[in-house]
Amino acid sequence: MMQNYNIYINEKALIITSVLKEGTKDAQIIDVQSFDFCKFYYEISSLTENIFYLVSEDPERAFETLKSKVKNIEAAGGLVKNPDNGYLFIKRLGKWDLPKGKLEPNEKIEEAAVREVEEECGVTVTRLGHKIVETYHMYNIKEQVVLKTTYWYAMEVDSEQSLTPQLEEDITEAVWIKKPDWNQVTANTYPSIITVLELA
């Protein structure tokens, strides 16, 4: 089964796939042959649709071709669980998020994921679990289009540790939230974070 690639651009999504699901509507289908990734990025905010499908016989190859046309950044983070079944969330720039950050030079992805969680929330991770998913997000830095790949891992701590949000990273809250209360998170977060929570 071929992988689909969901690339988020603010609240919108570009889905690279080989097959459209039956009943797909309220979306625009894009011709892969004439697709200009950077032009699409700058035009998407003026388009009415929220979901765009790029249909290709080989989604992986199409994705790699798109990646080669923009600057790439790698980041890593985690969904952290405590013994009381609470999960670690942060509030950054007014939205719920999960702790994450960019890889440092020559840093392993797993090491970066743990380091960022510990730096942003002041906790000590005691167990690094499986990779949950990779998410993709597009934005621009100084007029340069960037594709950020974030690797998300399941993690655990051995106690309900007190949390210290990293204020210099615009984090105003760090809290433990149990699954029955995740609706407060999903009501005010990013599509990529919802993807992580759905797959966790």
User: 188 and 116 share a domain?
Assistant: yes
User: 100 and 44 share a domain?
Assistant: no
Q: Which of 120, 153, 117, 151 is nearest to 137 (CA)?
A: 151
Q: How many residues are given for the chain? A: 200
Q: Could you tell me the residue range of the domain that residue 136 belongs to?
A: 72-199
Q: Could you report the per-residue pLDDT of 110-168, keeping only the tens digit for each?
A: 999 999 999 999 999 999 999 999 999 999 888 889 999 999 999 999 987 889 999 98
- The CATH number of the domain where 189 resides is what? 3.90.79.10
Among 23, 49, 67, where does a domain finish?
Answer: 67
Instruction: Report yes or no on whether pTM surpasses 0.85.
Output: yes
User: 50 and 94 share a domain?
Assistant: no
- Cα distance between residue 54 and residue 86, in whole Å: 38
User: 40 and 139 share a domain?
Assistant: no
* Res. 26 pLDDT band, cuts 50 70 90: low
